[in-house]
Amino acid sequence: MTSPNEPRTTGAVGAPINRVDGRLKVTGAARYSAEIPVDDLAYGVIVQSTIARGTIDRIDAGEAEQLPGVIAVMTPRNAPKLESLQKFEREGSKGSRPTGRALSLLQNDSVHYNGQPIALVIAESIEVAMHAASLVRTTYRVDQPTIDMATALPSAYPSTEKIYGREPPATQRGDLQAGLAAADVRLDVVYTTPMETHNPMEMHATIAAWDGDKLTLWDATQNVHGVRGTIAKTLSIPPEQVRVISHFIGGAFGGKGSAWSHVVLAALAAREVRRPVKLVLTRRQMFGPVGGRPHTVQHVTLGAARDGTLTALRHDSTSSTSTIEEWVEAATLATRILYDCPNEETSHRLVRLNVGTPTFMRAPGEASGMFALESALDELSYELRMDPIALRLKNYAEADPESGKPWSSKSLRQCYALGAERFGWARRTAEPRSMRDGDQLVGLGMATATYPVRRMPASADACIYPDGRAVIKAGSHDLGTGTYTILTQLAADALGIPLGCIRVELGDTDLPQNPISAGSMTVASTGSAVHLAAMAAREKLIQLAVTDPRSPLHVAQHGAVEIAGGRLTLHGDVDRGESIEELLARNGGQPIEGRADAKPGDETQVYSMHAFGSIFAELRVDPDLGTVRVGRLVGAYAAGRILNPKTARSQLMGGITFGMGMALMEHTITDLRSGRYVNADIAEYHIPVHADVPGIEVFFVDEHDEHVDPIGAKGLGEIGMTGVAAAIANAVFHATGVRVRDLPITLDKLL
């Protein structure tokens, strides 16, 4: 399938190579945002509200200001007024917020959630700043907050904004009531998922430094260009005056996709005190001010014929948002496309609570929504006495049931088959409580996985230097995912230059514009741009050779020139050729540059594009203690071309582990009186540790997709998270006969 202007592969893409930044990371040479050495640094510490709703009555920073080493204390009394926000307030809700999110920038006295930033101490050391922060005295006029999702549920209202600016908040096809009337079996159930909080290894961190009217932010962000735009608008300065750098990120998962309050506060503080300011959130401050996954209450109604054919499917999701901003957990998007049901309705509603505004958290919407949908399918399979995979195959969608568009590719059948085979699904006996290991109850469960293929405009430069090395530049990010590595591989194959001679530069607004690294779209967006930029540089190199009378390749056919190992040769005649160094040395010793501005084309109008997979769980439940031990998690995925099986497998293992945390552990608990985040640390907020994580096995189904993007890759950042919570809940039911519809599945729910 190599077309004339496609490079013949040198085999870098598709090889399980190690991370190119691995050595930097394990030796500590990779510098994260908080580690950047900056001279004359001052330290900022945020003071947070201790009530969930009300007004600041008095805020007394006197004692704090007098502490030796304190440089300034910024409060709503003295913080600089931001004209952009004043204008936004004056003009009402028209137009989008300059800050993107509803941030707490000390512009007024209102308190909307417990833990809201209400002041910032800047001091000579972190210790002094922390001590001073504890000395800021605040009194409030307290209003009654709304904290409890359950009691606030009657106040739910339909979400009317398009989701992600694109998807309708509600959909309807066919006639749901007729479909329910025609059903032999009906299911009408409610599932809930709790608030969850981002706990990446690296906390949010910003260093802000001004040089005249130019601002540099070293920020732990997965969205350098987005942060630049937000900061520029908020501070009313041109974007060119803001540079955002994020070379290494210790996990992001969606939490680092927005410029949150602390980023702007660091910039403001640095301007006020005329010194660079470092502001690192504490683990505790990760709960509230920087978002997380909201609560959901999901109502699923299914109707099916005796043979398993779905006749009706309704999925309504109500999720929590803050009182200052609407944020929708898009829990029914996957439901719209997964099964071929003619009569279907989906909707999203919101409940306003006095909590920090929620945000994207790995597979936002799909992870929580597919827990409900894929649990409901499992419940239906027992009603019908039908194998859960057979039920899914019975309703297999051959085309996108919502849009009617063909899939760009879909290999879900193969994923079910491969997953079932590798897992050993055939040994499962259908009855709940029918499998045992000693006195332990054994459960086997499965679910479908899916995530959309998204792509945004992205640009890249590829530069080949006279020494035969190449540098790739793109203002994208490596969140710990392997972006540096797969971009190196793509460039190596396109340029014909060895992996070790290629350097990839990411995470800087001085580099070509790239989108947020989220939505599993970095490979499709940035990967395509890098491929095309490298191809453009390759073409220039070949052009130079075939038009250079002194080149052994002079007047050769363009398409007959190959580049491999840094050498240009004639196809079929490896002796005729020369090295890149020789060619460039003879031609003025100038670098060769290729540039690509890549963007999606008409394919999105023609095809529906999704990655698919299957996930299987085997676990043991202690019938006396209710403890769940997951023994195996086996996933099979089809996601187009797999650029690097090693980093791809890691991504999926991470996603599956995250899904296991969702199933069994993660739960942000708020005190229903005060709105205080009760378990705001990783001793009390549980996530899987090594000892919890079972054998995870990941398999790939070969899939060729020529429609998704120029490199045929679909992205893997999030699909691993989807379906896992349902597969585990389904296995728990199979083991115990207890259907847990409220995550997380803790032992109290099994006793």
Distance of alpha carbon 401 from alpha carbon 313, whole angstroms: 12
> Which lies closer to ligand MOS via its Cβ, residue 360 or residue 407?
360
Angle between helices 224-235 and 261-273 (to 10 degrees): 60
Kindly give the pairing relationship between strand 502-505 and strand 470-473.
parallel
**How many residues touch ligand MOS (CB under 6 A)?**
10
Distance of alpha carbon 303 from alpha carbon 310, whole angstroms: 6
> Which lies closer to ligand MOS via its Cβ, residue 320 or residue 522?
522
For 725, the 3-state DSSP assignment is helix
Minimum distance from residue 518 beta carbon to ligand MOS (Å): 3
Within 206-225, the residues that bind ligand MOS by CB under 6 A are none
Residues paired with residue 59 on neighbouring β-strands, in sequence order: 138
Which amino acid is it at 632?
R
Query: Is residue 326 within 8 Å of 350, Cβ to Cβ?
Result: yes
Distance of alpha carbon 630 from alpha carbon 364, whole angstroms: 24
Distance of alpha carbon 364 from alpha carbon 352, whole angstroms: 18
Minimum distance from residue 477 beta carbon to ligand MOS (Å): 10
Distance of alpha carbon 637 from alpha carbon 612, whole angstroms: 6
> Which lies closer to ligand MOS via its Cβ, residue 201 or residue 691?
201
> Which lies closer to ligand MOS via its Cβ, residue 88 or residue 658?
658
> Which lies closer to ligand MOS via its Cβ, residue 419 or residue 527?
527
- Give the Å distances, CA to CA, from 309 to 346, 446, 612: 19, 19, 21
SS3 content of the chain, % helix, strand, coil (to 5): 30, 25, 45
Which amino acid is it at 173?
R
Minimum distance from residue 40 beta carbon to ligand MOS (Å): 34
Question: Which residues, 6+ apart, have CB-to-CB distance to 711 below 8 Å?
Answer: 13, 490, 523, 524, 527, 528, 531, 641, 643
Q: Which of 176, 183, 242, 361 binds ligand MOS (CB under 6 A)?
A: 361
> Which lies closer to ligand MOS via its Cβ, residue 229 or residue 251?
251
> Which lies closer to ligand MOS via its Cβ, residue 294 or residue 519?
519
| Residue, CB closest to ligand MOS | 254
For the purposes of burial, counting CB atoms within 10 Å of the CB of 26, is it exposed (0-12), middle (13-18) or buried (19 or more)? exposed
> Which lies closer to ligand MOS via its Cβ, residue 522 or residue 670?
522
Pick from 88, 107, 119, 74: which is nearest to 236 by CA?
88
- Residue that the structure tokens 């980023």 belong to: 263
Minimum distance from residue 465 beta carbon to ligand MOS (Å): 34
State yes or no: residue 294 binds ligand MOS (CB under 6 A): no
List the x/- string, 317-356, binding to ligand MOS by CB under 6 A: ----------------------------------------
Pick from 325, 334, 416: which is nearest to 368 by CA?
334
- Give the Å distances, CA to CA, from 7 to 235, 502, 573: 46, 17, 16
Kindly give the pairing relationship between strand 171-173 and strand 344-353.
antiparallel
| Catalytic annotation present for 402 | no
The whole-angstrom distance between residue 118's C-alpha and the CA centroid of its chain comes to 29
> Which lies closer to ligand MOS via its Cβ, residue 145 or residue 255?
255
Distance of alpha carbon 184 from alpha carbon 303, whole angstroms: 7
- Residue that the structure tokens 């909201």 belong to: 294
Minimum distance from residue 517 beta carbon to ligand MOS (Å): 7
Within 499-528, the residues that bind ligand MOS by CB under 6 A are 518-519
Minimum distance from residue 223 beta carbon to ligand MOS (Å): 9
The whole-angstrom distance between residue 719's C-alpha and the CA centroid of its chain comes to 10
List the x/- string, 634-663, binding to ligand MOS by CB under 6 A: ------------------------------
Kindly give the pairing relationship between strand 502-505 and strand 310-322.
unpaired
- Residue that the structure tokens 């961190």 belong to: 205
DSSP secondary-structure letter at 17? P
How many Cα neighbours within 13 Å face the side chain of 307?
4
Kindly give the pairing relationship between strand 157-158 and strand 628-638.
unpaired
Minimum distance from residue 146 beta carbon to ligand MOS (Å): 26
Query: Is residue 116 within 8 Å of 287, Cβ to Cβ?
Result: no
State yes or no: residue 360 binds ligand MOS (CB under 6 A): yes
Phi, psi values for residue 564, rounded to 5°: -150, 140
List the x/- string, 247-276, binding to ligand MOS by CB under 6 A: -----xxx--x-------------------
Residues paired with residue 300 on neighbouring β-strands, in sequence order: 189, 315
> Which lies closer to ligand MOS via its Cβ, residue 253 or residue 416?
253
Minimum distance from residue 207 beta carbon to ligand MOS (Å): 22
> Which lies closer to ligand MOS via its Cβ, residue 255 or residue 419?
255
Kindly give the pairing relationship between strand 277-280 and strand 42-48.
parallel
Minimum distance from residue 681 beta carbon to ligand MOS (Å): 22
Q: Which of 44, 145, 364, 496 binds ligand MOS (CB under 6 A)?
A: 364
Give the angle subtended at the CA of 400 by the CAs of 597 and 178, to the nearest 5°.
145
For 43, the 3-state DSSP assignment is strand
Minimum distance from residue 348 beta carbon to ligand MOS (Å): 17
> Which lies closer to ligand MOS via its Cβ, residue 72 or residue 518?
518
Tokens of 635: 């996933």
Angle between helices 724-736 and 366-384 (to 10 degrees): 30
Which residues are tagged catalytic?
Answer: 718
Interaction site with ligand MOS (CB under 6 A): 252-254, 257, 360-362, 364, 518-519
